[in-house]
Chains A and B, each alone.
Chain A
Amino acid sequence: MSSLYPKRVVITGVGAVAPNGLGLADYRAALMAGKSGISHHEDLAALKFACQIGGKPPVGPDEAEALLSGPDLAKLNEAMVYATMAAVEAAKMSGVAVDLKKGYNDTPVDWNTGAIIGCGIGGMDTMCDELGPVLAAAADQDPGMGVRPMGTDIVPKIMESSVSVAVGKFLGLGGQTTTNSSACNTGTEAIFEAFKHIQLGFSESMYAGGAEGTHPGTWSGFDAMRDVLCSKFNDRPEKGAQPMGAGACGFVPAGGAGVLRLETLESAQKRGAKILCEVVASYCNSGGQRDGGTMTFPNPDGVMRCIQKVLKDSGVDPKRISLINGHLTSTGADPREVGSWIKALELPLEKFPLIQSTKSMIGHTLGAAGALECVAVVDQIVNGYVHPSINCEDVHPQIPIGNSIPHEMVKKELEYVIKASFGFGDVNGCVLFKRWDGK
C-alpha cells in the first residue's frame, strides 16, 4: 500500500522551550538523562492549590532579553515569548538567519512560509495581571477613563492568535499565519493543519506547534476539578508525573512551547536545508462525546479510528513502527489509551513497539504538549535513541505491555515513530514520522 498524499513533507528545524530544558540541546540532554522539569512553586502554595507542583520552563528576564529587546518584550504575553523562542530556534536550524535584537523590520517577507501555532488557554498572565486589576478599578474612574490604563497592547496579548502573530511578526511570514486551539491536542493538531496546508499547495513551508503559559490562572480550573491534577506529590515534585504508573494520580500542569518547521521535500532540497525526518501522515478527529467519550474523556473508538486512519493513509505496516509517543498524562485515562493503541495496531502484545510518555519528565504542557512531544520524537529519530518514561517502574496493572516501556534511555535506530494527542472535548490527533534516509 502506498501513501495517500501527493507531496512529501519533511521537517527541517525544531525548537523547544520545555520545563526541563531551554533549547533543543538542553531538552535532549534532559530527555536522555530522564531529568524531570517538575518543581514545587510557592505561588501555587500561596494560592492554596491542591497541586502545588508544575513544570515551568527555565526562562526569566535574562533569557527573554537575550532574544528580544525590552519594548518588544512588553508587547508579549508569556506564551508569545515561548512561541517566539521556539520558532526562532526552529528557523535558525532550518537555515534562516535570525537575530531579533539586531532588528527584524527590514528583513524581507517570506511569502512562501506561514505559521500555525496553537495555544490552549492564551494570554492568562495578561488577563489576570494587567487587564483584571484595571477592570476592577474601572467603575471608580471618569467616563472614558476606566479602561484606558490597560494601554494599547492589551488586545494583541489576549487575542487567541497572539502566539502565531508574534512568530509571524518576528520571522516576517507571508503565508497564512493563524492559531488553532483544541485543548491538549492543540500542538499535534497544528502539525496536522500545517501538513494539510502544504499538501493542498497553499504554502511551501509552515512553522507549526503550540505554546502555553504557566500562570496559576491557567492551572486553577484544573485544580478545581480535584482529581485531574496530581496533588499527592507536593513534597516530591519530580515524582508527580507517573504516566502508565501504578501510582498515577493526576497530571502535572506545565507550560512551554514546541515549534517544527515543515516544508515540501522540493523546497528543503532547493534551499539546501538539512532534513531531519519526514512527516508521512497525519489526521485529527473527534469521538463525538459518545460511547464513553465525554468533555474530558476520549471515546476509545475515536482514538483507535484516528490512529488507524494515519496508518491506512501512510500505507505503513504497524510492524515497522519503532516507537509510540503517547498522550499518556498520568491519569486514569492512561490504561484506556494504551488499550486503544493495542487495538489500533493489531499486533501481538509481545511484538508491541516501545511506548513512552514525554510528560513523565515535562508534565502536561497543555496546548504545547503535542508540539513539544513531536520535537522529542524528531530528536530521537535524528539521534537514534529512545528517552525513558520515568516514574512508572510499577506499571499500572491494567496496562498489559509493561515490557514495551523504556525505564532507561535506549540507543536505537528508529524507522517510523507514531505520536498521538487527545484533548478535552473528545478530540484526537495523530502524526506518523519517518527517519530521513536521503531519498
Chain B
Amino acid sequence: MAFMRKQAVVEAVDINTVTPDDAEKRITAGVKKYATNEANFAAADANTPYLGHIVGMGIESSNLADITMSIERQFLTKMTTKVPLSEGSAEFKLTAGELGKLRILDGQDALAATPGLSVKMLMDLGHMAKNDAYLEKVMSFAYVMACGDGWKMADALKKMAAKAEKLADAERSEALANLKTLVAQAKDYDALLADAAKLAASKAKAYANDKGGFDALNSELNLTLDKIKGVSAGGDAAQLAKLRGEEAEIRTRLKMSAAKLRVSQEVSEAAGKRRAIEDKKVAEVRAALQTAVSSAEKLS
C-alpha cells in the first residue's frame, strides 16, 4: 500500500488458547487500518460499533468483509471439517476436526457489529467456549441498532439547530419548522427507548412485516416451482427457460430477504431484554437526545 508504514505481521493463534478479552483486543487491533474515526477507535471497547462516525470507529460499510477476513487471519480453530448441508449440496457447515484456519461462512457475521459481538459470534459458532461473564458486558445487537438510531437522531438535531441558528427571515422560519418536526420525532424515540416493552412491540411489528415479505416470496417460489414441474412434463423448452430465470431471480430476492429477516428477528427477540449494559447505553443515548432536544427547543 502506497506510503503505508510497515505493520507487524500478526501470527494466527489457536482461538481456544486466548481469553475472550484478548480475542476482543486482537479483533479491534486488526481493524485499525479501516477505522477512519481515530478518536473513537482509540477509545474502543467491546461495544464500539465498527460502522458509523458518531460513536463508531468510522469503518465504511464497503470494508465489512475486511473485518471478517481480519478475524479469520488472526485465529486458528478446530471447527474445520466441512459437512454438506444436504446430500450433493455445495453448501456446507463446519464441525470439529483438525486445528486449522478459521472460516466464517456467508451470513454468519451478519450480527457482528462490534468487537464484543464478533467474539460472541465466535462463541455461537462453536469456535470458542461460551463465557457468560464476558457476554454480560457485550451489548446485544438489537441495542447496538436501537442506540445507533438514537445517536444519529441526536446528531441530526444538533446539526439542524446549528444550521437554523445561522439563517434569517423566511429561511429561518422554514428551518425552525423542520427542526420542530425533528424534535417531535426525537421525543417519540426517547420515549420508545425509555420503555423496553414499547421498543420490543415496535421491533416485533417490523419483524412481522419482514416475515410477511419473506413468506410471500416463498409462496411465489413454490408457485414457480409448481409451474416448472408442469412445463417439464409438456416439454416447452422456451417456457421452461423463462420459468427457470424467474426461479433464479426469486431465489436471489429470497436470500436477501432471509438475511434481512435474520437481523430483524434478532432485534425483535432481544429488544425487550435489557441487562445492566443495555440500561447504561440507553441512558447515555437518551441523555444525548434530551440535550439535543432541549437546545433545539430553546431556538424556537
Contacts and interface: CB of A to CB of B under 8 A. Distances in A.
Interface of A: 59-61, 63-65, 69-74, 76-78, 80-81, 105, 125-126, 129-130, 142, 145, 148-149, 151-153, 213
B4 A73 contact: yes
Given A105-B53, A152-B65, A153-B63, A71 B36 contact: yes
B208 interface: no
Given A64-B2, A148-B69, 16 more contacts: A59-B3, A61-B3, A61-B4, A61-B5, A65-B3, A70-B32, A71-B35, A71-B38, A77-B2, A80-B2, A81-B3, A125-B2, A145-B103, A148-B65, A152-B65, A152-B66
A74 B4 contact: yes
B89 interface: no
Q: Which of B3, B5, B36, B58 has the most CB of A within 10 A?
A: B3
Nearest to B70: A151
B49 to A, nearest CB: 15
B189 interface: no
B37 to A, nearest CB: 9
A213 B66 contact: no
Interface in B62-105: 62-66, 69, 103
A129 to B, nearest CB: 8
Contacts of B69: 148-149, 151
Interface in B22-46: 32-36, 38
A59 B3 CA distance: 8
User: Which 5 A-B residue pairings sit nearest by Cβ, starting from the closest?
Assistant: A64-B3, A78-B2, A71-B36, A74-B33, A152-B65
A73 B63 contact: no
Q: Which of B2, B59, B69, B103 has the most CB of A within 10 A?
A: B2
Nearest to A80: B2
A65 B2 CA distance: 11
B8 interface: no
Contacts of B4: 61, 70, 73-74
Contacts of B1: 73-74, 76, 126, 129-130
A151 B3 contact: no
Nearest to A65: B3
Contacts of A129: 1
Nearest to B6: A61
Contact of B36 (A69, A80, A81, A125): A69
Nearest to A142: B103
Given A69-B36, A69-B38, A74-B34, A152 B62 contact: yes
B36 A72 contact: yes
Q: Which of A76, A125, A129, A153 has the most CB of B within 10 A?
A: A153
A142 B104 CA distance: 13
22 contacts: A59-B3, A60-B3, A69-B36, A71-B32, A71-B34, A71-B38, A71-B59, A73-B2, A73-B4, A74-B34, A78-B3, A80-B2, A105-B53, A129-B1, A130-B1, A142-B103, A151-B63, A151-B65, A151-B66, A151-B69, A152-B64, A153-B62
Q: Which of A59, A71, A80, A151 has the most CB of B within 10 A?
A: A71
A64 B103 CA distance: 35
Contacts of B59: 71
Nearest to A74: B33
Given A145-B103, A152-B63, A153-B63, A76 B2 contact: yes
A220 B62 CA distance: 33
A129 B36 CA distance: 23
A72 B3 CA distance: 11
Contacts of B63: 151-153
A143 B202 CA distance: 42
B289 to A, nearest CB: 20
Contacts of B66: 151-153
A289 B163 CA distance: 58
Contacts of A73: 1-4
Nearest to B2: A78
Contacts of A80: 2
Contacts of A105: 53
